[in-house]
Amino acid sequence: MAEPIALFVDFDGTLIDIAPTPAAVQVSALLLQTLAALAPRLNGALACISGRAYADLAPLLQGAGIALVGSHGAEILQAAPADARLAALAQRCRQALQPWPGALVEEKPCGLALHWRQAPAAEAMIRELGAQLAAALPTHGLCEGRKVIEWLPAHIDKGAALQQLMQQAPYCGRMPVFIGDDTSDISAMQAARALGGLAFAVGERVADHADGVFARPANVLAWLELQVRIRPA
């Protein structure tokens, strides 16, 4: 794959292993160094499109020198102003989930995510809260991932973010390639393929939407290192 590409990657589960909580992830120096070396070889056409809030993602990839898109595309290349409704709703959810200490309420500028990875028994309550949030946030839609449900502004998804970036420099005129691991990545995988590009899955969860599969994030890193070697500086 030596032709000019625009490379888009998810973060959790793609560049790094899934951790018990979003705050527990570890980003290796090797990953940061590899991304920093690859970005100029792609003339800057390298972006991470993550479900994390931009303000959460930026410190984790500091030094990588790549473009960042947060909140599934709601925060394109910069942090977005906070939705004033979310703080009260987040507090309501935290109170309801007190009987399940491992349940996590993740407040983002544009949305709200409820995790039950550390509290499997909380799933039913979280889904009940989901119905309440749907009524309280008619401007938002549901996005479901691995042991998490999230409410995002309507019409926001990673595919729309990829399409928007592909209309501007340095991405336009290149073949889009997207790598992701979860159901929230499907829209971007579909968008990349619709634009004549390729999509790759990490693991089997969304493999049906991919042109190829990486077993785990370590294999993605190895592929990124290969791209550094085969593409001229």
In the CATH scheme, what is the code of domain 86-153? 3.30.70.1020
- What pLDDT score does 2 carry? 61
- What pLDDT score does 200 carry? 98
> What are the pLDDT digits (tens) for 118-169?
999 999 999 999 889 988 999 998 888 889 999 999 889 999 999 999 999 9
Cα–Cα separations (whole angstroms), residue 176 to 64, 121, 212:
20, 40, 14
Q: Is 12 in the active site?
A: no
> What are the pLDDT digits (tens) for 69-118?
999 999 998 888 889 899 999 999 999 999 999 999 999 999 999 999 99
- What pLDDT score does 147 carry? 93
Residue 181 CA to residue 10 CA, distance in Å, equals 8
In the CATH scheme, what is the code of domain 5-74+156-230? 3.40.50.1000
- What pLDDT score does 233 carry? 78
Residue 104 CA to residue 94 CA, distance in Å, equals 8
* Mean pLDDT of the chain, nearest integer: 95
Q: What is the pTM of this model?
A: 0.92
Residue 59 CA to residue 14 CA, distance in Å, equals 17
Predicted confidence (pLDDT) at residue 174 exceeds the cutoff of 60: yes
What is the pLDDT confidence band of residue 67, given thresholds at 50, 70 and 90? Answer: very high
Predicted confidence (pLDDT) at residue 35 exceeds the cutoff of 90: yes
| For the chain, domain boundaries | 5-74+156-230, 86-153
